[in-house]
Amino acid sequence: MDCDMEEMSADNVKTSPADHLQQWSQWQLLDSILPTGGFAHSSGLEAAVQARFVVGPEDLKFYIIQVLENTGSLLLPYVYCASKFPDVESWFKLDRLLEATLTNEVSRKASASQGSALLRVAASIYVEIPSLKQMRDTYLGSGAASFHHAPIFGLICGLLGFDSSTSQRAYMFITMRDVVSAATRLNLIGPLGASVLQHQIAHVAEQMTKKWMDRPVEEASQTSPLVDIVQGCHGYLFSRLFCS
């Protein structure tokens, strides 16, 4: 018991109150209550359901895994580079490059919508990081930047003190969380079943994160073209619940 108390005391000495406060800010970035509009998008799941690509639990699980694969191969390099070099100049270059890379109009608009919303929210919340407000005031509405979600997310992670590995895992987590949430609202699965499914897929998400982690943007690629094609069909749906 005494040894345990000594170990706990040592841990408390190593971590400063400022570090504790920073962790609260980091957790808030991943909180689903953050009003960034992520739950308005289904990553093409709604179109996949209407196209009958997803008709049951196994189809849903397979689709989510393919979305994670695509996210890892295409977007993790942008999260990695933005978190590694969290400055405005590096972010701007990454944003312009991703704008040129995304050929799917639906996913491009969804990425820009979520990214600009994330910047607005982050600039309002994290007032201790003045560069976020400067970015918002300088670029938002100017047309000079597209504010794609992956570079913005990586930049904010870097400014909040996330290491690059945690930033990339966090991005994969929120992607999985949002698609599973979309499945719940599409009545493909219940809330408890969604939580069970998310836990089951977690080890696959970790494998994919390790597979695509720490890659430069020059290696970013599309590995699940069917997901991209299905998402591109979302704008043609007669009736739809989500924006993408």
**DSSP string for 54-104:** --SHHHHHHHHHHHHHHHHHHTHHHHHHHHHS-SHHHHHHHHHHHHHH---
DSSP 235: G
The answer, yes or no, to whether residue 6 has pLDDT greater than 50, is: no
Q: Which of 28-37, 96-105, 125-134 has the lowest mean pLDDT?
A: 28-37
Whether 70 and 223 have beta carbons less than 8 Å apart is answered as: yes
Mean pLDDT of the chain: 88
pLDDT for residue 143: 85
55-112 pLDDT, tens digit per residue, is: 989 999 999 999 999 999 999 999 999 999 999 999 999 999 999 999 888 989 999 9
Check residue 37 and report its DSSP letter: S
User: Three-state DSSP class for 150?
Assistant: helix
pLDDT of residue 132: 92
Cα–Cα nearest to 153, from 137, 134, 176, 169: 169
For 204-230, the pLDDT digits (tens) are 999 999 999 999 999 999 998 888 888
Reference 115, options 97, 89, 95; nearest CA is 95
pLDDT class for 3, splitting at 50, 70, 90?
Answer: very low
For 32-61, letters b (16+ CB in 10 Å) and e give eebebbbebbbbbbbbbbbeebbeeeeebb
Contact, 72 vs 176, CB < 8 A?
A: no
Whether this model's pTM surpasses 0.85: yes
Report pLDDT for 233. Answer: 84
pLDDT > 90? residue 142: no
Joined together, the tokens standing for residue 193 give: 């079943």
Taking phi over 0 as left and psi of -120 to 50 as alpha, with beta for the rest, 161 belongs to left
> What pLDDT is attached to residue 27?
86
Cβ burial, residue 30 (10 Å; 0-12/13-18/19+): middle
* pLDDT score at 7: 44
Please report how the helices 57-74 and 164-185 are oriented relative to each other, as an axis angle in degrees rounded to 10: 150
Q: What is the DSSP letter of 142?
A: T
**CA 217 to CA 136: how far, in whole Å?**
24
pLDDT in tens, 175-205: 999 999 999 999 999 999 999 999 999 999 9
Q: What is the pLDDT of residue 16?
A: 65
